[in-house]
Amino acid sequence: MRALRKTEPGPGLTLTEVPEPACGPWDVKIRVLRAGICGTDLHILGWDDSAEAMCDTVPFTPGHEFYGEVVEAGSEVPDARIGDRVSGEGHVVCGVCRNCRAGRKQMCIRTRSVGVQRDGAFAEYVVIPHLNVWVHEHDSRTEVITPELGALFDPFGNAVHTALKFPLVGEDVLITGAGPIGLMAAAVARHAGARYVAITDVHEHRLEMARAGGVDLALNVATTTMTQAQRELGMKEGFDVGLEISGQASALQEMISNMNHGGRIALLGLPARHFELDWTTVITHMLTLQGIYGREMYETWNAMSAMISTSPLLRERVLATVSDVVPASQWESAYEIARSGRGGKVLLDWETIG
């Protein structure tokens, strides 16, 4: 099969031929139809500090946001059938550590991530444990999940996990980073009953996407400060909830200085380098900083499936984050679009590779 591989430590990827993966008795083999490029994949392409820290085995196949069709199920698999259309939970957990046994699988101390520490979905086929397969049920209230929407379930899960970490009803929410996950998080915050939803970025077209998605304020922080955003919204105090999605040092630093006392910040963005924080403000303003990694297993999946099936507007806003679907053979141009920030979510088409 064809696969996009990290063949050695260092920048770059290679589209090459590799054997199809074997399907074990508890595994499911999936024909990949669409796979999304995310921030983690950009780190892996550039091989920065974050990538070196995360990726402990080279060579490997990246890619963890995907939608596909089950083509083989192991002999012990009870709940996935050939022909099922599925997405995949990218965190493979041990099942026996304290957190796993307590039902907190997303905090497993031995997590191995699809497309990071094991072969992923930038390929014609991927194999994952059957417990990681999310079968898309057909619901009379919603249309069939399209390949594009199905490929968004991983990043949409990140957005749902981040946005719903703290109560949002009636709260003023600041989101830093209007990339695909930031846009989805804004849609979730609006759906969940936030009073004001403000989002920041430096790319004007992404801010336009945010405005079209119903935020109260989309702010270009290259020219305007977050403090000015509060004035524009008529806020007398700081933001109640912050969702840091960008991974930029300046974004988190300015967010901290614009939170209300007792404010809560959910951190999803991966920084490319170490940086300092104003810990005096964090302490004296009694702020809560909560790291977010992936999705809650599997409450987030249940929540996002329910929201997608019951809210056509939310489904529309999530799907609107896709700006480009590119044949997998043209992966370099797809990565360039994703890296440049001039588009939204970029998907690789493995169904018609090109």
**Catalytic residues, which ones?**
40, 43
Closest CA to 34 of 94, 77, 88: 88
Supply the angle between the helices 249-257 and 226-233 in degrees, to the nearest 10.
Answer: 50
How far are the Cα atoms of 139, 204, 229, 238, 263 from residue 233, in angstroms, in the given order? 39, 19, 6, 11, 18
* Angstrom distances, CA of residue 171 to CA of 98, 160, 238, 259, 288: 34, 16, 11, 12, 15
Q: Using CA atoms, how far apart are residues 159 and 49, in angstroms rounded to an integer?
A: 24
Task: Name the β-bridge partners of 87.
Answer: 67, 134
CA 67 to chain centre: 14
Structure tokens at 36: 């999304």
CA separation for the pair 241, 43 (Å, rounded): 27
The CA distances from residue 136 to 32, 142, 153, 243, 304, in Å, are 15, 11, 10, 28, 12
Number of H-type helices and E-type strands within the chain: 13, 17
**Whole-angstrom Cα distance, residue 114 to residue 120?**
5
Rounded to an integer, what distance in angstroms lies between the CA atom of residue 133 and that of residue 12?
A: 29
Q: Specify the residue for token string 């969702």.
A: 243
Beta-carbon count within 10 A of 255 CB: 24
Structure tokens at 168: 């949002």
Which candidate, 72, 65, 59, places its Cα nearest to that of 30? 72
